[in-house]
Amino acid sequence: MAKNLGGAVIDLLDSERVELRVAAATVLSAVGKGDKSVEAALTSRLEDSDHAVRRIALEGLADFGAGGIAMKLVPLLRSGDESLAERAAQVLAQQGASAETALRKEVASGPVAARRVMAQLLLRRGTQPSIEAVLDQLADNEFGEQALQLVRHELDSGNDKLANVIEKVAVARAGEANKELGKAWTKAQKTAEAAAKAAKTAKPKKGGKANGQNGHANGHPNSSASDPLRDPEVMHGVAELGSLLRLIGYLGRSSTQALLVKFADPEEPRPIRLAAISGLRRIVAASEARGTEKVIEALIDFADGDDPAVAQSAVDTLRGARIPDSLAKTFARLAKSKNVAAQKLAMERMPAGGGAGAVKALVEALGGEDPTARDAAGRGLSKAPEAVLPVTRALLATTDEHVARRYAGVLRSHRGHVSNQAIDELVDRVRELMDVHFKGKATADQIVLERVIAELVSDIAPGKHVELLFERAKRLRKAGKSVEAFGSLKPLLRSRADLDAAIDDEQRFFLALLCLEAAGEGIIRAARVDDPVFQQFSRLAAKGYPVAKQLAREKDVSDEAIYALGFRLIESGDGSNEELGAELLQGIIDERPRSKLAKSAKNKLKLTGHADD
């Protein structure tokens, strides 16, 4: 009878009445887990004409953990219903390898919004086939630029494994794309030459009309036949190769600079040159002028060239570059360039024109006594990226707070372009000063310098600053100074977005633990529900972090503090918080069942309905 009843409910999914289909989908979602026939029936309802039926079927399949339904989920991304598409994307992400095949097939067509979601899911998979499926879209007129920016976003997140795969694939594809573009270009040129030859031999018709449309001869410069760049195959090839070169540039790896310089050659089509030059920006900005001499020399030549678009792109790339001493005089000649932008750049970067000697003189002037000379030196150094490392080392060498703040101000003006070497040296100095401080041997000047350099690191390298803060907090806690340790991390609580991006689960637990130790059980009882203590523990619990077990292992956390935390979480009114609070109180009961605190915990759990009578 049960089988007949189940079959009858499944049959209701085909009813013409929406309310019956909704009811049947609801019942099957609630009781059909593990039944393949129910999974198949609900999967078929993902194509239902009614939104509610589709939503219920999707949620049911998600609860079942159903697999092999990726092909049915992809159409939901194109449904036009944002909330349903978002949920379908979440379920697709859980399908693993089975979803990858469907996504690789479907990402090439459909609405841009749906393709964007599919591309994101493929990039998160991180396999070479999934990455190649996204790179296949780079030449697409509608979606190509968005696909490129999605890949860029993933690269900027610091995924080295993904970057290695992309470098391998993109470099290989660039070579193939260049070959195909060469063939298309040759073919288009022959077509253009044939059209021009035909235009010369053709005689105008009576009435003064030329052979071409709108009165133009076939060989007129405005005709698409005379310009290879207007040929559809060439346009496709240029779009693909240009996007690949920009992508290679986003990697910011010096190993690719020779390839990009090759494609910036004057013999290449203008769009390819522009893409290659823009691709060099991250490479030259991230280096300390070592190994970039040929690149910088080529860019200086392009900046003084006859093509205004290429010249401007070269100027923009040089703007963030360190100029090697060997090319200082060559760069200075741009002050007399026929291109106004190149002239302006050379004048702004006069320290580069004078080489290392000019930078050294400006650094000394900035640290001197003459206010006028200091101001001029500060302006000059702020415009010279190659001054970053010398200014950093001058900052590390000084013992004067005021001079240190001047040098720090110059480095802040280069925020986003400070090299890793400079950042590492600053971080090492902060650690040295911290060590002296903790040993109680720091002078007042050293304490101030530590603060100045640490503040600078927080501006130019927030991630490194977070590491330093946690190092300081751990040392303070080890010394029995939990309140001071929490105080050193408290600035992180001001911005949830920055905090989420900066710390991992272990660091979040340590921060929450310090909150707990610093507050104590009495303050926790009086704290608000949105107190940072509760927020950190709640966010960890929501992610599946074993909060209760970890707290139980902490010898410095008293049972009273754990009880107070659990008590307050239960009273928060938030379901997830209440579960964590009940788990904490139950842990006290399990560990010390006969203690007064355990009895209080039992009473609290019974009163709130979290334990049986």
- Could you read off the pLDDT of 226-241 as tens digits, one per residue? 678 888 889 999 999 9
In eight-state DSSP terms, residue 287 is: S
Question: Which stretch of 197-211, 213-227, 348-362, 567-581 has the lowest confidence by average pLDDT?
Answer: 213-227
Question: Which stretch of 10-19, 228-237, 560-569 has the lowest confidence by average pLDDT?
Answer: 560-569
Q: How confident is the model at residue 221 (pLDDT cuts 50, 70, 90)?
A: very low
Instruction: Report the amino acid identity of residue 366.
Output: L
Q: Above 70 in pLDDT, residue 373? A: no
Q: What is the mean pLDDT of residues 489-506?
A: 63
In eight-state DSSP terms, residue 204 is: P
Q: Above 70 in pLDDT, residue 613? A: no
Say what the pLDDT of residue 220 is.
39
Say what the pLDDT of residue 310 is.
94
Question: Which stretch of 113-122, 130-139, 176-185, 223-232 has the lowest confidence by average pLDDT?
Answer: 223-232
The candidate with the shortest Cα–Cα distance to 470, out of 433, 504, 419, 425, is 504
CA distance 404 to 406: 5
Question: Which stretch of 169-178, 284-293, 409-418, 439-448 has the lowest confidence by average pLDDT?
Answer: 284-293
Q: Decide which of 305 and 331 is more confident.
A: 305
| Percent of the residues in the chain that have a pLDDT greater than 70, as a whole number | 84
Q: Above 60 in pLDDT, residue 476? A: yes
Query: What residues contact 91, with CB distance under 8 A and at least 6 apart?
Result: 58, 61, 62, 69, 73
Q: Above 80 in pLDDT, residue 112? A: yes
Q: Above 60 in pLDDT, residue 122? A: yes
The candidate with the shortest Cα–Cα distance to 269, out of 222, 230, 300, 295, is 230
CA distance 566 to 352: 62
Say what the pLDDT of residue 350 is.
59
Angle at 152 between CA 148 and CA 153, to 5 degrees: 120
Query: What residues contact 419, with CB distance under 8 A and at least 6 apart?
Result: 286, 287, 288, 388, 389
Q: How confident is the model at residue 217 (pLDDT cuts 50, 70, 90)?
A: very low
Question: Which stretch of 67-71, 380-384, 586-590 has the lowest confidence by average pLDDT?
Answer: 67-71
Burial class (CB in 10 A: 0-12, 13-18, 19+), 485: buried
CA distance 275 to 88: 36
Query: What residues contact 201, with CB distance under 8 A and at least 6 apart?
Result: none
Say what the pLDDT of residue 528 is.
55
Instruction: Report the amino acid identity of residue 492.
Output: L
Instruction: Report the amino acid identity of residue 413.
Output: S
Per-residue model confidence as pLDDT tens digits over 402-443: 999 999 999 999 988 888 899 999 999 988 888 888 788 888
The candidate with the shortest Cα–Cα distance to 143, out of 106, 89, 189, 91, is 106
Burial 24-56 (b: 16+ CB within 10 A, else e): bbbbbbeebeeeeebbebbbebbebeeeebbbb
3-state secondary structure 537-604: HHHHHHCCCCHHHHHHHCCCCCHHHHHHHHHHHHCCCCHHHHHHHHHHHHHHHHHCCCCHHHHHHHHH
Per-residue model confidence as pLDDT tens digits over 310-339: 999 999 999 888 888 788 778 877 767 888
Q: How confident is the model at residue 472 (pLDDT cuts 50, 70, 90)?
A: confident
CA 200 to chain centre: 56
Per-residue model confidence as pLDDT tens digits over 343-355: 777 756 655 455 5
Torsion of CA 288, 289, 290, 291, to 10 degrees: 140
φ, ψ of residue 21 in degrees (nearest 5): -65, -40
Q: Decide which of 543 and 146 is more confident.
A: 146
Q: What is the mean pLDDT of residues 11-26?
A: 82
Q: Above 80 in pLDDT, residue 66? A: no
Query: What residues contact 182, with CB distance under 8 A and at least 6 apart?
Result: none
Q: What is the pTM of this model?
A: 0.53
Q: Above 90 in pLDDT, residue 171? A: yes
The candidate with the shortest Cα–Cα distance to 123, out of 104, 145, 142, 98, is 104
Rg (CA), the chain: 33
CA distance 525 to 38: 49
Does residue 309 contact residue 343 with C-beta atoms inside 8 Å? no
3-state secondary structure 368-393: CCCHHHHHHHHHHHHCCHHHHHHHHH
Assign 320 to helix, strand or coil.
coil
Mean pLDDT across the chain: 79
Q: What is the mean pLDDT of residues 56-74?
A: 77
Q: Above 60 in pLDDT, residue 222? A: no
Enter the tokens of residue 15: 């009813």
Say what the pLDDT of residue 62 is.
78
Neighbours of 136 (CB within 10 A): 16
Q: How confident is the model at residue 51 (pLDDT cuts 50, 70, 90)?
A: confident
H runs (alpha helix) in 202-307:
232-251, 257-263, 270-279, 281-286, 293-303
Q: Alpha-carbon torsion 325, 327, 331, 336, what sign?
A: positive
